[in-house]
Amino acid sequence: MSDTVLPVAGASPYDVVVGTDLAGRLPAMLGSGVQRVGVVFPESLADLARPVLDALAGAHEVTRLPIPDGERAKTAAVAASCWDALGEAGFTRSDAVVTVGGGATTDLGGFVAATWLRGVRVVHVPTTLLAMVDAAVGGKTGVNTPSGKNLVGAFHEPAGVLCDLATLRSLPRAELVAGLGEVVKCGFIADPEILTLVEGTDPDELTADSPVLRELVERAIRVKIDVVVADLKETGGQDGHPGREVLNYGHTMAHAIERAEDYAVRHGEAVALGCVYVAELARRAGTLAPEVVERHHRAFAHVGLPTTYSGASFEELHAAMRVDKKARGSQLRFVVLTDLAVPTVLAGPSEENLRAAYDVLSGGEQEVDA
């Protein structure tokens, strides 16, 4: 099957390419004039980074920037070590960064590129399903602090994204399933055909070489492209649409759970839990019909994602949500649905409703409307 090229319009247009064995596209995507390239990759993914390093070796001076695995990479200290390496190698504004890895690598490497000399080119080569459909597209970068996730960051659009589906062949099954959390989320906020595909497919058939998985990847990326082109810096949408904030559907609770679990829970798993929570919250606020709420439980569970969580108390999660980036002053804000693919913002929900939605998330009985 030929590669799929998904163009991202805007002030700094670029392409997202979906296919297999894409490393050969990298030099052209970086463009002419780039002499030095810093390749950011987790030490555990050296084998996956090798085709990228080989593709660059002939025409570029390559600086390897190995980082820790997962969220442990997203610290100011790791970013500083990358800056030091770029400085020692003499990187100029015409040089570039390439990231090879999952969402944490993309976030950290993108942040390094955004801040080195106030911004150099970056190309992302995501190696997880989660990174392909979420972190690699749209230009958000960031690191974590003790106060929360992604509280320090910058918008820095890439020069291109190479979603090489071949890299998913070595991805642990649990990681692939976790990535489906963001895919299913896209079905609820913008493209219900994603839900139809997911619900109509045996989860065991969703593999790296599955045509259905490829369609899901491309559909989820298109959802994100459409949103970020319309509202790159999350300033708001039109006609009541939340704009880019819609991509954070479920994320207020998801980030609280991740923080409570010291980031030991996978992001896609936390997103599934957060979406179930916010659907229950929307039902209590009177914006979402019970059958759509139930579909949240069913769709995430179908692919093997969790739909209940009781690892932290409501009080602990509530406190964490209050420092979420989407909060305004002391008021919590949640992206909610009024129907499939019809999002809006719910500001300042009552603590009674917040707690009641948590009670369902933690395994309590789901209420049934008379």
CATH number at residue 24: 3.40.50.1970
Query: Is 128 annotated to bind ligand?
Result: yes
pLDDT of residue 329 exceeding 70: no
Query: Is 71 annotated to bind ligand?
Result: yes
pLDDT digit string (tens) for 163-198? 999 999 999 999 999 999 999 999 999 999 999 999
Query: Is 43 annotated to bind ligand?
Result: no
pLDDT digit string (tens) for 71-83? 999 999 999 999 9
Q: In what order do the strands lie in the sheet with 96-101?
A: 4-8, 14-19, 160-164, 121-126, 96-101, 36-42, 61-67
**Pick from 95-109, 231-245, 277-291, 309-323: least confident:** 231-245
pLDDT of residue 365 exceeding 70: no
Domains of the chain: total? 2
The residue from 133, 149, 170 where one domain ends is: 170
Query: Is 115 annotated to bind ligand?
Result: no
Residues 352 and 266 in one domain: yes
In whole angstroms, give the CA distance from residue 336 to residue 77: 36
In whole angstroms, give the CA distance from residue 348 to residue 141: 28
Q: Residues 44-56: what's their mean pLDDT?
A: 96
- ∠263-49-223 over CA atoms, to 5°? 60
Residue 318 maps to which CATH number? 1.20.1090.10
Cβ burial of 116 (10 Å; 0-12, 13-18, 19+) is buried
pLDDT at position 366 is 53
Residue 96 lies in a domain: yes
Strand partners, 18: 4, 163
In whole angstroms, give the CA distance from residue 9 to residue 15: 9
Residues 135 and 181 in one domain: no
Residues 99 and 218 in one domain: no
The residue from 170, 204, 239 where one domain ends is: 170
Give percent of the chain with pLDDT exceeding 70.
Answer: 97
Residue 122 lies in a domain: yes
Residues 6+ apart with CB under 8 A from 319: none
Query: Is 207 annotated to bind ligand?
Result: no
Residues 35 and 157 in one domain: yes
In whole angstroms, give the CA distance from residue 25 to residue 327: 41
pLDDT at position 218 is 98
Residue 368 lies in a domain: no
What's the whole-model pTM score?
0.93
Cβ burial of 87 (10 Å; 0-12, 13-18, 19+) is exposed
In whole angstroms, give the CA distance from residue 308 to residue 274: 10
Residue 366 lies in a domain: no
Q: Which residue has the higher pLDDT, 131 or 366?
A: 131
Dihedral (C-alpha) 46, 50, 56, 58: value to the nearest 10 degrees? 130
Query: Is 338 annotated to bind ligand?
Result: no
> What's the pLDDT band for 369 if we cut at 50, 70, 90?
very low
User: Can you tell me whether residue 334 is helix, strand or coil?
Assistant: strand
Query: Is 105 annotated to bind ligand?
Result: yes
Per-residue DSSP letters for 21-53? S-GGGHHHHH-TT--EEEEEEEGGGHHHHHHHH
Residues spanned by the domain of 297: 173-361
Dihedral (C-alpha) 34, 24, 177, 258: value to the nearest 10 degrees? -10
pLDDT of residue 328 exceeding 80: no
Residue 102 lies in a domain: yes
Query: Is 185 annotated to bind ligand?
Result: no
The chain-wide mean pLDDT, for the chain, equals 94
pLDDT at position 136 is 82
Query: Is 104 annotated to bind ligand?
Result: yes
Query: Is 74 annotated to bind ligand?
Result: yes
pLDDT of residue 113 exceeding 70: yes
pLDDT digit string (tens) for 122-131? 999 999 999 9
The residue from 138, 170, 202 where one domain ends is: 170
**Pick from 95-99, 212-216, 234-238, 248-252: least confident:** 234-238
Please write down the HEC assignment for all residues of 49-61: HHHHHHHHHCCCE
Residues 339 and 223 in one domain: yes
Query: Is 63 annotated to bind ligand?
Result: no
Query: Is 224 annotated to bind ligand?
Result: no
Residues 32 and 110 in one domain: yes
Closest CA to 239 of 250, 251, 252, 230: 230
Residues 197 and 114 in one domain: no
Q: Which amino acid, one-letter code, is at 58?
A: G
φ, ψ of residue 333 in degrees (nearest 5)? -130, 140
Both structure tokens of 267: 């992001």
- The string over 316-331, giving b where at least 16 C-beta atoms fall within 10 Å of a residue's C-beta and e elsewhere, is ebbebbeebbbeeeee
Residues 71 and 202 in one domain: no
> What's the pLDDT band for 368 if we cut at 50, 70, 90?
very low
Both structure tokens of 317: 């999660």
Residues 189 and 86 in one domain: no
In whole angstroms, give the CA distance from residue 246 to residue 191: 13
In whole angstroms, give the CA distance from residue 111 to residue 105: 10
pLDDT digit string (tens) for 195-230? 999 999 999 999 999 999 999 999 999 999 999 999
pLDDT of residue 370 exceeding 50: no
